[in-house]
Amino acid sequence: MSEQFSPQAIFATLDRHGVDYVAIGGIAANAHGSRRLTLDVDIVPAPDQDNYARLAAALDELGAPAIAVDSAFRDLDPRHTFDLARAEVLKLPTTVGDLDLLIGAPGAPPYADLRARAIEVEVRGTPVRIASLDDLIAMKRASGRPQDLRDIADLTGLEEASD
**Among 9-23, 40-54, 69-83, the least confident range:** 69-83
- What pLDDT band is residue 149 in, cutting at 50, 70 and 90? confident
Indicate the helix (H) or strand (E) that contains 11. helix 7-16
Q: Residue 139: which domain range? A: 7-155
Residue 36 counted as domain residue: yes
Q: How many domains does the chain have?
A: 1
Asked if 131 and 28 count as a contact pair (C-beta separation under 8 A), the reply is yes
Q: Kindly state whether residue 68 falls inside one of the protein's structural domains.
A: yes
Residue 114 within any structural domain of the chain: yes
For residue range 151-162, list pLDDT tens digits in order.
Answer: 899 998 855 444
- Residue 147 maps to a domain: yes
Evaluate whether residue 91 is within a structural domain: yes
Q: What is the CATH number of the domain that holds 111?
A: 3.30.460.40
Question: Could you give the percent of the chain with pLDDT greater than 90?
Answer: 74
Q: Residue 161 falls within a domain, yes or no?
A: no
The pTM of this model reads 0.90
Mean pLDDT, residues 51-64: 97
102 forms bridges with which residues in the sheet? 89
The predicted-structure confidence for 63-100, as pLDDT tens digits, reads as follows: 999 999 988 898 999 999 999 999 989 999 999 999 99
Position 123 pLDDT exceeds 80? yes
Residue 87 lies in a domain: yes
Residue 83 included in any domain: yes
Residue 94 host element (H or E): none
* Contacts of residue 98, Cβ cutoff 8 Å, sequence gap at least 6: 2, 5, 39, 40, 41, 91, 92
